């Protein structure tokens, strides 16, 4: 598939050419395979087939990107563990709500759950955690909920973290997340572009390397505002290191002048 044909598809789906720059090769392969399965030879025929809602849904799922890693962006996790979460814990004594939007295969979700568990030794009492993990791809969520990862997926994790939070499986050198780490996680199918945010206000929202990367600006802005409105006063929003807000949001201020960590102003 040439770039022109792929760009036609991106335009039809409201997706960003720049956003797919690093993952274009894999996406093209998936789409080419799908065209063959449907017996379609040209992009014109494929775009016409998208009038079928079932085929459109299949294509949108194929365009999903699941690339991630545990504790991706070490600076973010250090600031989160040393400054942000301790402050939130001191202010919220009963329950803390967190949301990983576009969680893909769950590495970010489990990273947060590990960090939360590590913090328990630093506080005499820690609030209950409810961690919502959402993605539009049910296959991703099923795999994330199982919590099974290859040894290569754990690259960069310290040995003590692996020993504490993973069980080594006998087959294929895989590792499974320990069960107690899953107890506060709610996995749920959710489409950021078409559905309102989960009910309630969140003290922590992760919106990293998903909506603000892969969608065209005119399409992602309403969805982003929907997410931002779900942030509690004083709560924190995390986007990808290379991402930018659609435009300056008066209710959000950068945390310590970091371009991808934002705090919602209090009234």
List Cβ<8 Å contacts ≥24 apart for 40-49.
Answer: 43/1, 43/5, 43/8, 43/9, 46/9, 47/8, 47/9, 47/12
pLDDT of residue 267: 75
Residue 125 has pLDDT above 90, yes or no: no
What are the pLDDT digits (tens) for 238-260? 999 999 998 889 999 999 889 99
**Which residues contact residue 220 at a Cβ distance below 8 angstroms, ignoring those fewer than 6 apart?**
193, 211, 212, 246
Report phi then psi at 79, rounded to 5.
-65, -40
What are the pLDDT digits (tens) for 167-182? 999 877 899 999 999 9
Average pLDDT in the chain: 95
pLDDT of residue 58: 97
Owner of token pair 């009963």: 94
Percent composition of the chain: helix, strand, coil (DSSP 3-state, to 5): 45, 20, 35
Residue 104 has pLDDT above 80, yes or no: yes
Residue 56 has pLDDT above 90, yes or no: yes
Asked if residue 140 lies in contact with residue 100, where contact means CB atoms within 8 angstroms, the answer is no
Average pLDDT value for residue range 220-235: 94
Question: What domains can be seen in the chain, in order of their start residue?
Answer: 3-62 (no CATH), 74-264 (3.40.50.150)
Band of pLDDT at residue 211, cut at 50, 70 and 90:
very high
Q: Is 256 left (phi over 0), alpha (psi -120 to 50) or beta?
A: left
DSSP-derived secondary structure letter, 84: I
Strand 166-168 with 148-150, pairing:
unpaired
Q: Tell which residue, 179, 176, 113, has the closest CA to residue 150.
A: 176
Residue 124 has pLDDT above 90, yes or no: no
| Whole-number Å distance between alpha carbons of 54 and 113 | 35
What are the pLDDT digits (tens) for 84-95? 999 999 888 799
**Which residues contact residue 177 at a Cβ distance below 8 angstroms, ignoring those fewer than 6 apart?**
110, 147, 148, 149, 165, 166
What are the pLDDT digits (tens) for 59-102? 999 999 998 999 999 999 999 999 999 999 988 879 999 999 99
pLDDT of residue 116: 96
Alpha carbon 148 to its chain's center: 17
What are the pLDDT digits (tens) for 28-45? 999 999 999 999 999 999
Q: What is the dihedral of CA 169, 161, 102, 152, to 10 degrees?
A: -50
Average pLDDT value for residue range 210-236: 94
pLDDT of residue 93: 77
pTM, 2 dp: 0.95
Residue 163 tokens, joined: 């020993």
Band of pLDDT at residue 111, cut at 50, 70 and 90:
very high
**Which residues contact residue 261 at a Cβ distance below 8 angstroms, ignoring those fewer than 6 apart?**
76, 79, 84, 236, 237, 238, 254, 255
Average pLDDT value for residue range 143-150: 96
């Amino acid at each position: 598939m040439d770039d022109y044909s792929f760009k036609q598809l991106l335009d039809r789906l409201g997706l960003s050419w720049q956003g797919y720059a690093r993952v274009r090769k894999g996406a093209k392969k998936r789409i080419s395979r799908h065209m063959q399965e449907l017996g379609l030879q040209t992009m014109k025929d494929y775009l016409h087939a998208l009038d079928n809602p079932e085929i459109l849904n299949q294509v949108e799922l194929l365009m999903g990107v699941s690339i991630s890693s545990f504790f991706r962006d070490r600076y973010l996790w250090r600031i989160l563990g040393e400054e942000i979460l301790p402050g939130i814990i001191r202010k919220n004594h009963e329950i803390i709500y967190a949301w990983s939007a576009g969680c893909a295969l769950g590495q970010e979700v489990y990273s947060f759950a590990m960090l939360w568990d590590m913090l328990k030794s630093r506080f005499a009492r820690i609030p209950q955690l409810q961690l919502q993990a959402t993605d539009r791809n049910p296959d991703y969520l099923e795999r994330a909920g199982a919590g099974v990862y290859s040894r290569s997926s754990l690259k960069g994790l310290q040995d003590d973290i692996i020993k504490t939070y993973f069980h080594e499986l006998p087959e294929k050198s895989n590792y499974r997340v320990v069960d107690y780490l899953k107890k506060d996680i709610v996995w749920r199918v959710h489409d950021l572009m078409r559905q309102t945010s989960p009910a309630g206000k969140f003290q922590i929202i992760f919106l990293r390397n998903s909506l603000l990367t892969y969608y065209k600006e005119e399409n992602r802005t309403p969805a982003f505002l929907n997410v931002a409105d779900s942030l509690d006063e004083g709560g924190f929003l995390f986007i990808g290191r290379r991402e930018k807000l659609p435009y300056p949001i008066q209710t959000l201020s950068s945390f310590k002048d970091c371009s991808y960590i934002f705090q919602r102003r209090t009234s």
